[in-house]
Amino acid sequence: MEASPAPPTDDGDTVTITSALDHPFIYLLFSLAYLFVFLTTIFGNVVILCVFASQRRLRSLPKFFLVNLTVADFFVGCFCVLQNGINIVMLRQRWPFGYRMCQVYIYLLHLLPNVSAGILVLVSVERFVAVLRPLRVRRAFPRKVLIASSAAVWISAALMNLPYFFAVMYMEFPDEGDEKLSVCIRDTHAEFYGYKIVKSVTTINCIFWYCIPLLILGIIYLTIFVVIGKADTCPQSNKLIPNDEKPGVGIATEEFRARDWRSGSTVTVEKRKKVGRLAFGIVLSFALLSPPRYSYLIWTTWRDNTVPRSVTSWTNLLQPATFLLMFLNSAINPFLYAFLSSRFRESIRDTFFCRRDIDKRRDIAIEMSCRLNRQRRHNSEYDTLNDSQYPRTNSFERTKSFDPDKVSVDISS
């Protein structure tokens, strides 16, 4: 490996070191890692977006937030992963895309992870309401609330990260021959009315878009686990009125469950366990893969630039490694959808095999019709068998009015 002068790093320092990326194996490893994350992010999120667009049954309340999360992850693949890999790994901090793309790149590189964090909070809050109050979730999140909350996350993240669009250091140096060397980094020394704008924005973003969301998510899922744990110890959903002690309770319970099924909510414990599994997996990946990047940002922003930086050939790998972990969060979300949700797996299969929703609805209608016909035949046989013992009313009314003490057998015939 040969030592060569490197352009300014992410925090604005110019150092002359022997980079570990000059080693062929390390260079190949990071290049393949960036390529894998890029292709996985693009392909996986495109598949999920196609599934959302083609499968009508996925256009439900919680899926609206997941669509926003998928769009943010797709933008990460389009505008961040490939450009970051070319800049850091392939060209050794050299930027070949010009000044305007440099501004857009730095801006989106900080904006999109914050949007993902905000959408995760919305997903978790919706799951929290769905577990604790399943019958009220649709009233708590009407269409206007969905659109307004999602728009608030995108707009607030866009405004809070706007200083990054202007705090850009784009420099050109003469390279060997007649070519010019361009560098695109954050300007950590940029000031606004005497304030270090990049330091302030980086710190506020870390607190507002990582620490606070992580605290909220921890409280939400701890509460969900406590509620589910208590529900596991209850043999019946209604402990106040046992079903076998009052007449008509069984019928009312069945009607209640039918109404609950039609409304899209479920009150069973098993359903409550499944309802937060997907969201918890996404949140867990966010909690594990995001801290390295935020820690690196805080360190490079607040360290004393007047003190010589102790840099070895291996510490230069910290920057691309933290970026890869952050990008990996956007890449694995589509696989979490597939592995943690049976409905997503079925919808993905239907999309690949070009099965339309009308075919699904037709199959369900045929199945329900067969069940109703079998039930009618059963009721008809029951009516024929007991016609001499019961008044001529339908089976439902006979079940409600049946009294063994008042039944008299007609033996006159």
**pLDDT tens per residue across span 364-391:** 766 677 777 777 766 665 555 555 554 5
Q: Are residues 279 and 368 in the same domain?
A: no
Q: Are residues 377 and 314 in the same domain?
A: no
Q: Are residues 202 and 309 in the same domain?
A: yes
Cα→Cα distances 65→121, 210, 322, Å: 10, 18, 26
Q: Is 234 helix (H, G, I), strand (E, B) or coil?
A: coil
Q: Are residues 39 and 185 in the same domain?
A: yes
Q: Are residues 226 and 286 in the same domain?
A: yes
Residues in the chain: 413
Average pLDDT over residues 177-186: 82
Q: Which of 311, 337, 355 represents a domain boundary (last residue)? A: 355
Q: Are residues 310 and 369 in the same domain?
A: no
Q: What is the pLDDT of residues 217-257, one digit of tens each?
A: 889 888 888 887 776 665 444 443 444 444 444 444 444 44
Let me know if 8 is exposed, middle or buried by CB neighbors in 10 A (0-12, 13-18, 19+). Answer: middle
Q: Give a yes or no: residue 307 inside a domain.
A: yes
Q: Which of 336, 355, 374 represents a domain boundary (last residue)? A: 355
pLDDT at 159 over 80: yes
List, as one string, the DSSP characters of 74-121.
Answer: HHHIIIIIHHHHIIIIISSS---S-HHHHHHHHHHHHHHHHHHHHHHH
Q: Are residues 279 and 138 in the same domain?
A: yes
Q: Give a yes or no: residue 290 inside a domain.
A: yes
- Count of domains observed in the chain: 2
Cα→Cα distances 169→9, 16, 86, 183, Å: 11, 20, 18, 8
Q: Are residues 282 and 374 in the same domain?
A: no
Average pLDDT over residues 196-224: 91
Q: Give a yes or no: residue 109 inside a domain.
A: yes
pLDDT range class, residue 105, cuts 50, 70, 90: very high
Q: Is 159 helix (H, G, I), strand (E, B) or coil?
A: helix
Q: Are residues 82 and 181 in the same domain?
A: yes
Question: What integer pLDDT is reported at residue 7 of this predicted model?
Answer: 54
Q: Are residues 314 and 348 in the same domain?
A: yes
Q: Rounded to two decimals, what is the model's pTM?
A: 0.72
17-21, 118-122, 219-223: the lowest-pLDDT one? 17-21
Q: Give a yes or no: residue 99 inside a domain.
A: yes
Question: What integer pLDDT is reported at residue 93 of this predicted model?
Answer: 84
Q: Give a yes or no: residue 403 inside a domain.
A: no
Q: Which of 333, 355, 377 represents a domain boundary (last residue)? A: 355
Q: Give a yes or no: residue 322 inside a domain.
A: yes
Q: What is the pLDDT of residues 336-357, one digit of tens each?
A: 876 777 777 787 887 777 665 5
Cβ contact 66:72 at 8 Å: no
**Element (H or E) spanning 181, and its range?**
strand 180-186
Helix H, strand E, coil C: the string for 5-56 is ECCCCCCCCCCEECCHHHCHHHHHHHHHHHHHHHHHHHHHHHHHHHHHHHCH
pLDDT at 208 over 90: yes
Average pLDDT over residues 131-137: 79
pLDDT at 412 over 60: no
Beta-bridge partner residues of 130: none
pLDDT range class, residue 411, cuts 50, 70, 90: very low
- What crossing angle do the helices spanning 318-340 and 99-132 adopt, rounded to 10°? 40
φ, ψ dihedrals at 358, nearest 5°:
-65, -35
pLDDT at 137 over 50: yes
38-47, 222-231, 308-317: the lowest-pLDDT one? 308-317
Q: Are residues 230 and 94 in the same domain?
A: yes
Cβ contact 107:202 at 8 Å: no
Please tell me the distance from the alpha carbon of residue 179 to that of residue 160, in angstroms, as a whole number: 37
Question: What integer pLDDT is reported at residue 246 of this predicted model?
Answer: 46
> Average pLDDT over the chain, rounded to whole?
76
Q: What is the pLDDT of residues 70-87, one digit of tens each?
A: 999 999 999 999 999 999
Q: Which two tokens stand for residue 22?
A: 């000059």
Residues 6+ apart with CB under 8 A from 322: 292, 293, 295, 296
Q: Give a yes or no: residue 62 inside a domain.
A: yes
31-40, 130-139, 327-336: the lowest-pLDDT one? 130-139
CATH, residue 64 = 1.20.1070.10
Q: Give a yes or no: residue 82 inside a domain.
A: yes
pLDDT range class, residue 51, cuts 50, 70, 90: confident
Please tell me the distance from the alpha carbon of residue 389 to that of residue 203, in angstroms, as a whole number: 81
Q: Are residues 365 and 332 in the same domain?
A: no
Q: What is the pLDDT of residues 315-334, one digit of tens each?
A: 788 899 999 999 999 999 88
Average pLDDT over residues 47-60: 81
Could you tell me the residue range of the domain that residue 380 belongs to?
361-386
Percent of the chain topping pLDDT 90: 31
In 133-248, alpha helices (H): 137-140, 143-160, 162-166, 197-206, 212-232
Q: What is the pLDDT of residues 264-301, one digit of tens each?
A: 444 455 656 665 676 778 788 888 999 999 999 998 88
Task: Compute, in degrees rounded to 10, the torsion defined by CA atoms 17, 21, 23, 28.
Answer: -170
Question: What integer pLDDT is reported at residue 232 of this predicted model?
Answer: 64
CB atoms within 10 A of CB 239: 8
Q: Which residue has the higher pLDDT, 340 or 362?
A: 340
